[in-house]
Amino acid sequence: MSEKMHSHSLSVIVPTRNARPWVGELLDSLLAQDAEDVEIIVVDNGSTDGTAAFVEEAAACDPRVRLITSEATSAAAARNEGVDAATGEYLVFADSDDIVPDGAYRTMLDSLEASGSDIVIGDHLKFSVDRTWSPTRRWHPFDAARVGVAPTEVPELLSGRPCWNRMFRRSFWDQAGLRFPEVPSVEDIEPMTRAFVAARSIDVVPDCVYLYRDRGDATSLSVRADADVTRRYLEQELACAALVRHDPVLRSQHAEIVLDADGWAHLQRFLLSAPSDETMSDIAESTAALLDAIPHDGLGRVGPVRRVLWLLVRLGDWAAARSFVSGTASASEADRLAAWIDAVAVILPVDGSAAGSLAVDGLVPAFVNGADRLPAKWFAQRLGAIDGVDLLDTGSVLADAMIAAVRAGDSVAIPKVSAVREVVPLVVDRVNASDRGLLVGGPADLDALGIGAEVVLTGSTRQHTRVATDPGIGGWRSELIADPLTPGRYVATVAFAGISGDFPVVTARMPLPPVDDGMPMQPLADRKDGWRFLVDRRPPRGRGIGGLVAKVRRKLR
């Protein structure tokens, strides 16, 4: 971070309530910032654990710290009170249990002073007692610094709406009329959306400017799933939808937040709390209002689990939505697969195209990854519910094999396809050449599958050679005989009895060593195609004196 020193007037607003175990660490990090002329305004709203007394002692030791004892009933109200008391040219917020890295404020101040922008936003990390991680590692806006960009140039930044990883010019804050809604939770999202939309220009710094502590506290308002929290979130999100309604770029980005991130997470937590029908009916009204306010054209890009939830909610079938969420979150494989079947069955008669897409994107992968844990009888009893669903091939051999089994209603093949995922692609790690051809093998225990298998050599003509398993090795082996094959190159695949499709065979030896010229077959690895296993059938050697000499030499070795 920059070490350039300038004089700035910065106000840091910190709401506190029963934060004694952490507030000292936060204050240390704030006082270590190399920003001059800084005031740290701590607004304590009713702590009973000694937080206020600790801050008061800190204020007595350092005049930059100032304590306001408040009657505020929420962190939002405490922040507003802190802003009203602030005198700085710039505003920044911090929560009482977090940490601000060294140099963070200097970096943001330097950026705003140089650019004249309204807001600067920086990257952040989350941490817990045993790990640290980046919630933004897939975000491109933090790949490099940006100066004076319009909100529509970095719409992805709208997806993160905390108040603590950004700094505001105070004049902009006042002109935009920014205030935190005095609600017990989700108080950041509306004012931060309003600020983003109202900004003339925004700076972005790639530095980590904030460390957010994940306390793992299930009682936190931010993770509670009761109806009041969910309704409050939906109401605040509806207010955000109104703020972006005239800008198609920001409107689309906001819809993505609702459908693929925050909105889905809130509804999932709510439904996992097993709400009553009456409570769901109450939340349904607020959800419908929000869905009416956002575009849905991006729903097809949302992950399949999230897409199912929104489709069921849009259909008004909240009971099915509750069952799907609880089923897919279950530790029981039967519950998870039944949840997918039931959801597709509900959607199928209303929107066959959506049902087919969800079956391919969600149900089929669920079957591939777990159907081998259930008996064929289980599928025989349930496949009728999704009879007629349109399943399009994907180009993936394993997924398409499962699709073929579901299309055919083949309850026996479904768990077999799932079991095959453990051994494909089939790996060759042993190759021995002989006068007859090649003896190949690998580590997969095909015996344990209980499914017949063949190595298939495909060249100018299709050739089949049976795979034999060798319990003594604990893997598989097959002898590829040269005599039936015409000269040329052959691609090796593996086929399983009762399962549609040929699966890849790859080599673990890269490249495979050449064999003696006198041998009829040469093993190969096609490195351009994922190290696919190939064999060359060499032309038979002549029967004249040269061929006789070569045969004698081989016998003498």
Write the secondary structure of 187-249 as one string of H (helix), E (strand) and C (coil): CCHHHHHHHHHHCCCEEEEEEEEEEEECCCCCCCCCCCCCHHHHHHHHHHHHHHHHHCCCCHH
CA 460 to chain CA mean position, Å: 44
User: Is 50 exceeded by the pLDDT of residue 231?
Assistant: yes
Q: In which band, very low, low, confident or very high, does the pLDDT at 458 lie, cut at 50, 70 and 90? A: very high
User: What is the residue extent of each domain of the chain?
Assistant: 10-216, 303-420, 426-537
User: Is 90 exceeded by the pLDDT of residue 223?
Assistant: no
Q: What is the DSSP string of 28-53?
A: HHHHTS--SSEEEEEEE-S--SSHHH
pLDDT given at position 224: 56
Q: How far apart are CA 337 and CA 376, in angstroms?
A: 13
Q: In which band, very low, low, confident or very high, does the pLDDT at 6 lie, cut at 50, 70 and 90? A: very low
Neighbouring residues of 450: CB distance < 8 A, sequence distance ≥ 6: none
Question: For the chain, what is the radius of gyration of the CA atoms?
Answer: 32
What topology is assigned to 426-537 in CATH?
Immunoglobulin-like (2.60.40)
User: Kind of pairing, strands 10-16 and 90-93?
Assistant: parallel
What's the burial of 393, exposed, middle or buried (CB within 10 Å: 0-12/13-18/19+)? exposed
Peptide bond into 487 cis (omega under 30): no
Q: In which band, very low, low, confident or very high, does the pLDDT at 30 lie, cut at 50, 70 and 90? A: very high
**Cβ–Cβ < 8 Å for 385, 411:** no
User: Is 60 exceeded by the pLDDT of residue 68?
Assistant: yes
What's the burial of 188, exposed, middle or buried (CB within 10 Å: 0-12/13-18/19+)? buried
Q: HEC profile for 275-290?
A: CCHHHHHHHHHHHHHH
pLDDT given at position 138: 79
Q: How far is CA 224 from CA 216, 269, 458, in A?
A: 12, 8, 58
Q: How far apart are CA 263 and CA 268, in angstroms?
A: 9
Neighbours of 115 (CB within 10 A): 16
Q: Percent helix, strand, coil in the chain (nearest 5)? A: 45, 20, 35
Span 170-175, average pLDDT: 97
pLDDT given at position 528: 87
User: Is 70 exceeded by the pLDDT of residue 374?
Assistant: yes
CA 73 to chain CA mean position, Å: 36
Mean pLDDT of the chain: 91
**Cα-Cα end-to-end distance for the chain:** 70
pLDDT tens track for 486-541: 999 999 999 999 999 999 999 987 778 788 888 999 999 998 888 999 999 999 87
Q: Give the helix/strand (H/E) hosting 534.
A: strand 532-537
User: Is 70 exceeded by the pLDDT of residue 152?
Assistant: yes
Helix (H, G, I), strand (E, B) or coil at 253: helix
pLDDT given at position 226: 82
Residue 146 token pair: 């940006």
CA 196 to chain CA mean position, Å: 25
User: Is 60 exceeded by the pLDDT of residue 548?
Assistant: no
Q: In which band, very low, low, confident or very high, does the pLDDT at 551 lie, cut at 50, 70 and 90? A: low
pLDDT given at position 216: 73
Between the CA atoms of 176, 181, 185 and 188, what dihedral angle is there, to the nearest 10 degrees?
A: 0
Span 2-16, average pLDDT: 72
Q: Give the helix/strand (H/E) hosting 270.
A: helix 262-272
Please state, for a pLDDT cut of 90, what percent of the chain lies above it.
82
Global pTM value:
0.86
What topology is assigned to 10-216 in CATH?
Spore Coat Polysaccharide Biosynthesis Protein SpsA; Chain A (3.90.550)
Q: In which band, very low, low, confident or very high, does the pLDDT at 361 lie, cut at 50, 70 and 90? A: very high
CA-based nearest residue to 512, from 503, 520, 522: 522
Span 471-491, average pLDDT: 87
pLDDT given at position 471: 65
pLDDT tens track for 289-325: 999 999 999 999 999 999 999 999 999 999 999 999 9
Q: HEC profile for 379-419?
A: HHCCHHHHCCCCCCCCCCHHHHHHHHHHHCCCCCHHHHHHH
